[in-house]
Structures are given as C-alpha cells and as structure tokens.
Structure 1
Amino acid sequence: MTEPPDNESVGQTPNRNAVKRDWPSRARELAAASIAAGEPDAWFDQLYAESAAGEVTPPWGRNTPMPQLTAWIDSEQPSPSRAVVVGCGLGADAEYLAMLGFDVTGFDLSPHAVTLAQQRNPDTVVKYRVADATDLPHDLIGAFDLVVEIFTLQAVPNPPRTAIADGIATLVAPNGTLVVIDRRDTGDPTGPPFQITAADLARLEASGLIRAHLEVDDGLWVATFHRPAPDGDS
C-alpha cells in the first residue's frame, strides 16, 4: 500500500477546489473499523466508493504494471495463455498481460473497483468481474495457466488471509503458475498493509502447489508456485 497514488480519480470530473485525502491513511481508518466490526475485508469497496466520489486519491492507482511482474515475464517468457489477476483494482497489471496477448480475467471483491477499472480502460479486452477469493465462482476454479496476486494477501489480517490464500491456489490449472508479490516488512503491525511471513506463503504449498522460487526484491516477497499435472498428463 505504499505505491504513489495517481493525481485524479477515475471516471469523475475533478473538483479543482477540493482537497482529496491520501488513500493509504483513509484505508487504515476504514480497515480498523471493519476489523473491529468483524468484517475485515468490508472496507475495500467503501474505499473505492470514496475514490469514485472524488473524496480520496485512487487506491492502488498505478497506471503501469508492477516492476517485479514485468521482470518475471521478461525472464520466463511465458506463452500467452489464460491468466487471472486477483484483486485487480484499477487494472494496471491485467491490462499489461492483455497487451502481451494473454486471455485475461481480472476480479476484485469491490464492485466499485471493477467499475473504475472498466472506466479507466474503456477499450479493454480484459474480462473484469466481481468475485470473492474465499467463495469463488465455479468457472474460475482451476481455469488459469497464470495466476497473479499482488498486494492482496497483505491487505488483510488472518483471518481471512488463510482462506484467501486457499482460494487463490484453487485458481491455478494443472501445469499452471502462481506469481505472488507482497510486502515483506510493513513497519506497522496495525496495518494495512499487514505483515507477510514465509509461513503465510507456505500456506499456498499446503494447497497443493509446489514453490518454485522465493526471493526478496526491494522489500517485497516475490514468489512463484507451480501446480503439477496429474500423473500421466504432460
């Protein structure tokens, strides 16, 4: 949650006389209230709604893909295939993969985030949709050769982090790959973002994935996981 925000809201006529709040500080307020109410992921849609109303700067408002994702793509040169971006937000990473020729789905828990992503990318070929990683629609399960998770696990405490990790793992098709990018040391135990440990990442292995790579890059965990094909399949 430390990326510099964009200067304008998406899909809004900006009020030049209004002073927008910085979204990370508002996120911490909303997250604290949601956690206290026993709904630790309820704050996402409210934050995006306030952004749509021009009250806060765009959450996770990058216009460019995550550098660690582009570095992985450059290194591995995966063939374009079915891809999904978990917690896609405003769509920078999903649009990047689509530009490379992937058949991309981007989903987010927040309906406002999905609307804003579609408004920001009016000519998109990405299939944006609302979905909850803890209760995924059947058509998403096991459907993707490339699954990308960036800054989603770190945005929530546990629970529901374990349930989200389990859901993310189910997206990966046989012979598919999961790329995970999350902040290793937040410096603020109250969050968000919340501390991510190696044990959190190991949860993905408990879901039947095999860890292929793990490193720390600029304070971020960058990990890849692979789902083996069933015996006898290539």
Structure 2
Amino acid sequence: MGEAGVTDAFFTRRAAARARLDAIDPHKRPGGVEADPQRKDWFEAVYRFAEGDAAGVPWAHLAPHPLLAEWLAGRSLEGLRTLDIGCGLGDNAEALAAAGAQATAFDLIDEAVAWAKRRFPQSAVDYRAADLFAPPPEWRGSFALVHECYTLQALPDSLLDQASQALAALVAPGGLLLVIARARDEGQEIAGPPWPLPPSRIAALAVAGLRPETVEDIPATDAMARHWRAAFRRDG
C-alpha cells in the first residue's frame, strides 16, 4: 500500500496489526526474552507483515514525535553531527536534519532503513543498518547530539544497563544524549513489551561521563501517555 495520512482507517489497521504482532512476540511468551533478547526476528516480522503499510508498524506515526518536535522548536542544530537511534521510518531523523543537523540515523532492521530511504529519496540523512550494541567503531564519541526515542522501552530490563553504556559511548565531549520514553512509577508492574521506564532507569542513563541536564516527567494527556524527556550532557 502507498503511504497515506493517519486516519481512523489507519488506526483500525494498526489495531489489527498490533494484535497479530503481539501473538508472535517472543517476549510475551515464557522463555522468549532469553531466546531473542533484542527481538530482532520479531522486528523483522513487523516490517515484513506490514507490506508497505505504515499502519502495520506500531511506532510509525508519519510525523516526528511530538516531544522531539517541541524540543526542536526554535532550536538550531546547524552543523551539529547528530545520531538518531532506532530510526524506523525516518520521521525523527528528518526533523533533526530540518533543524540543521548533519544527521545520521540507524535501525537494526534493514527493511526499516530501506523504507525510510524510499519515503525520503532526497534526504540529507545518512541512513544505515546498525546494531546499538555493536555500532561502527568510528561512531564512538562522535556525535554532538544522540537522540533515542522508544528503543530502550522495547528492550528487556536485562539489557538496559548495557544499552545505557552503548548510548553514552556515542556522545562526543560536550555533547548531549536526549531520551524520549514512556514513563511509569517505580515498582509499577507493566505487562510489556513495551516497558515504560521507571525513574531509576532514567537515572541510570547518567553513566560514562554523562550527567543529567534536564529530566522532564510529562503527565499523560488525552493525546499522549505519560512520558520522560531527559537530556544528559557529557563533560568536556
């Protein structure tokens, strides 16, 4: 299917896709976390089953995340080297580029990267397939802004310490890590995935020379669940 706007029909298709995808998600079955901690097979299935319909990709809204768009409003990233983690269909990466950044974006899944390139054929974004846990060595300490939206909440708790270290390693001296994720209270039980992050998991992002600059706990509204928007600065 060709790309269309987000309509009632879009959300009807999304609900059907979500139910189908939940049924095959290994992390919703006993032993699934150990068998495929990064859920790579499942993420590949998401893009395969979508067959070109963005409604089949649960995190694709055909627009930048509202909390990123709000953060970027009136802010220039002119000339800054930025990295978008888990870029999906590319909307957040394109927003970073529109703000003047020299943007690189990656996803674990090849088809996500190919789809983003098809959507934005004239894009200045450097789209790549890559793994957060084994990124290209030249990326280490190279980005003035690293943007992460919804990747952490898609990972089991057993991987989050490693993921925090991997994110921190990408931030240049003086650079910023910006994380956007759904939020929950400490100790609140959630039947994920996704797993909204508790305060302790946001605090744990301050590793390897990163320190919290702003941590916003944004209450739920009719349009959006409760979220974190947290920025961590590397000294230097």
TM-score w.r.t. length of structure 1? 0.82
Following the alignment from structure 1 to structure 2, what is the Cα–Cα distance between the partners of residues 210 and 168?
13
Percent identity (aligned): 33
Contact 2:22–2:28 (CA under 8 A) maintained in structure 1 = yes
Contact 1:97–1:104 (CA under 8 A) maintained in structure 2 = yes
The CA deviation at 1:168 is 1.1
The CA deviation at 1:190 is 2.3
The CA deviation at 1:52 is 3.1
* Equivalent residue pairs, number: 216
Point out the more displaced range, 197-206 or 98-107. 197-206
The CA deviation at 1:51 is 1.4
**Partner of residue 8, structure 2:** none
Following the alignment from structure 2 to structure 1, what is the Cα–Cα distance between the partners of residues 52 and 76?
40
**Partner of residue 191, structure 1:** 192
- In 2 relative to 1, CA 27–216 (structure 1 residues): closer, same or farther, beyond 3 Å? farther
**Partner of residue 228, structure 1:** 235
Following the alignment from structure 2 to structure 1, what is the Cα–Cα distance between the partners of residues 69 and 80?
16
Paired AA for residue 213 in structure 2: A
Gaps of 5+ in 1: 1-7, 11-18, 230-234
**Partner of residue 50, structure 1:** 49
Which structure has more relative contact order (CA 8 Å, sep 6+)? It is 1
Following the alignment from structure 2 to structure 1, what is the Cα–Cα distance between the partners of residues 164 and 2?
30
Contact 1:140–1:171 (CA under 8 A) maintained in structure 2 = yes
Following the alignment from structure 2 to structure 1, what is the Cα–Cα distance between the partners of residues 189 and 45?
22
Following the alignment from structure 1 to structure 2, what is the Cα–Cα distance between the partners of residues 76 and 212?
16
- Spell out, residue by residue over 1:27-71, the C-alpha distance to the aligned partner (whole angstroms, 9 max, x if none): 433242582562122221221222136596233212221121122
Paired AA for residue 24 in structure 1: R
The CA deviation at 1:151 is 0.7
The CA deviation at 1:97 is 1.1
Corresponding residue SS for 2:206: helix
The CA deviation at 1:21 is 5.7
Following the alignment from structure 1 to structure 2, what is the Cα–Cα distance between the partners of residues 26 and 165?
31
**Partner of residue 18, structure 2:** 24
- In 2 relative to 1, CA 172–27 (structure 1 residues): closer, same or farther, beyond 3 Å? farther
Pairwise CA RMSD:
2.7
Contact 1:141–1:171 (CA under 8 A) maintained in structure 2 = yes
- In 2 relative to 1, CA 63–227 (structure 1 residues): closer, same or farther, beyond 3 Å? same
**Partner of residue 81, structure 1:** 80
Point out the more displaced range, 49-58 or 188-197. 49-58
Contact 1:174–1:227 (CA under 8 A) maintained in structure 2 = yes
